[in-house]
Amino acid sequence: MAKVVTRFAPSPTGHLHIGGARTAIFCWLLARHFGGDYHLRIEDTDLERSKQEYTDSILASMRWLGLDWDGDLNYQTQRTALYNSYVDKLLENGHAYWCSCTPEEVDAMREEARAKGLKPRYNGQCRTRNVGAGEGHCVRLKAPLTGKVVFNDMVKGTIAVDVSELDDMVIRRADGMPTYNMAVVVDDYEMGITHVIRGDDHVSNTPKQILIYQALGLPVPIFGHVPMILGPDKQKLSKRHGARAVIEYQDDGLLPQALVNYLVRLGWSHGDQEIFTLEELVKLFDGNNMNASAAAFDPDKLQWLNAHYMRTLPLPELTELLLPFVEKAGFGTVDKALVEKMASLFRERASNLKELAEAFRPLLISAEQLSYAEAGVKKALTEEGRQHLAALRLAYAEADFGDTATLEKIMHDYVEQNSLKFKQVGPPMRVALLGYLGGPHLPDVMTILGKAETLARLERAVNL
Ligand code: GLU
């Protein structure tokens, strides 16, 4: 099998949205599965709406999702001369012709066809007129007059379109610019693309592009058109459904692993398996089993997957993703090893990275800055609770904080020696050290706080 080469071709007119992200993931997975190449092409020919900041944002989202690309970026605006050299080839080989019809004339032809109950189309009047280049002239493809364009779509199966549905499309506009379909064919050929996976909003372009390939005598790639993602109510997906740009999910603290897993499953299946590592996806994704019908976006399932990855991601990986959130939370520079340690203690209690970073707050501020949850104070910092804290403060003042087991033993000995129940001691300690009831194992908390800070907190709670 020839080397598999795929591409993702975003238009930089906005941030990367989840539909585009899913297409990109499929393209990336197919290339990686077959040990091929995955390219990025920036389709920036809409000069008014295309912005470099969107290209940058799309690339940042690619990196965040873990979709590395091969080779250089291609910008369509830099390739006009290349596209036009192919238009010239078509003019030379007789598969294209100059057309001097004005837009008004073409509109009239369409109207005429419509009035006859036919498909509105250009009537081909310049096909045989030998018009030649000139002001206001465009170039049209000389499409076959009979027959069908047939292709076997990876997602939708066989698609056949009668050429009578198509017309002699413009391939170079009167202003000298190549049209979109022309540019895409030249790019996909020049970039050696073997598999074009894209959204099915492009499925009507494909027969037109195939006619251009055929006219140029070029091999036609394999196409796969993935259906759009719908909202939970099966309507067009919108912000209202919680569907947003990838960068927004990132800012909210979602894990990229969760989004990748979620989006892949939304358009592809492997039995009823729901959770896949990236390695598994690369191993399993061979271009089969992509869903032909549109799937509905389910924010709850995305959250469920996120919770799974929050619990199970290798700690160093989780820590890397977490560092920017720790910084954003305003804790200053926090030692990476400490972030990792805190992540191990709090990960089960947070549903995303933002929450997780926020959970560190009680450990990273000083005793005076700690705020107490009202319920915790009421329940645990009672007269009795504060007496226990005062006694424990004395015991901890003598302790070696380097050893978590010792810190644990002090609490247990105190409970035992005074014939108490642990619940008389644990809750006041929690409120004193963290400001609230709940939270991770107390000796771990004390180890992170260190001796001086632990004692200061106990002191403050005693005197509250
Ligand atoms: N630039 C097109 C888009 O963003 C992609 C076209 C293609 O993949 O062929 O929808």
Kindly state if the Cβ of 9 falls inside 6 Å of ligand 1: yes
Per-residue confidence (pLDDT) for residue 232, from 0 to 100: 85
* Pairs from 309-315 (Cβ < 8 Å, separation ≥ 24): 309/255, 309/257, 309/258, 309/261, 310/255, 310/347, 310/348, 310/350, 310/351, 310/352, 310/353, 310/356, 311/347, 311/348, 313/255, 313/257, 315/340, 315/343, 315/344
Residues 6+ apart with CB under 8 A from 404: 443, 444, 446, 447
**Which residue among 5, 8, 11 is best mutated to probe the pocket of ligand 1, counting the most ligand atoms within 8 A of its Cβ?**
11
Distance from the alpha carbon of residue 229 to the mean position of ligand 1, in angstroms: 16
Q: Which residues of the chain have pLDDT under 50?
A: none
Residue 456 has, within 13 A of its CA and on its CB side, a CA count of 12
pLDDT in tens, 29-63: 999 999 999 999 999 999 999 999 999 999 999 99
Q: Which domains does the chain have, with CATH numbers?
A: 5-74+229-299 (3.40.50.620), 79-226 (3.40.50.620), 313-364 (1.10.8.70), 367-462 (1.10.10.350)
Kindly state if the Cβ of 224 falls inside 6 Å of ligand 1: no
Compute CA 37 distance to the chain's CA centroid, rounded to the nearest angstrom. 19
Kindly state if the Cβ of 137 falls inside 6 Å of ligand 1: no
User: Which amino acid belongs to residue 414?
Assistant: Y
Residue 48 has, within 13 A of its CA and on its CB side, a CA count of 0
Task: Report the nearest-CA residue for atom 6 of ligand 1.
Answer: 9
Per-residue confidence (pLDDT) for residue 243, from 0 to 100: 66
Kindly state if the Cβ of 11 falls inside 6 Å of ligand 1: yes
Kindly state if the Cβ of 6 falls inside 6 Å of ligand 1: no
Active site residue ranges:
239
Distance from the alpha carbon of residue 235 to the mean position of ligand 1, in angstroms: 22
Ligand 1 atom with least separation from CA of 198: 8
Ligand 1 atom with least separation from CA of 20: 4
Ligand 1 atom with least separation from CA of 43: 1
Kindly state if the Cβ of 447 falls inside 6 Å of ligand 1: no
Distance from the alpha carbon of residue 42 to the mean position of ligand 1, in angstroms: 9
Does the global pTM surpass 0.85? yes
Distance from the alpha carbon of residue 110 to the mean position of ligand 1, in angstroms: 27
Kindly state if the Cβ of 188 falls inside 6 Å of ligand 1: no
pLDDT in tens, 216-247: 999 999 999 999 999 888 888 877 776 689 99
Backbone φ and ψ for 153, nearest 5 degrees, come out as -75, 135
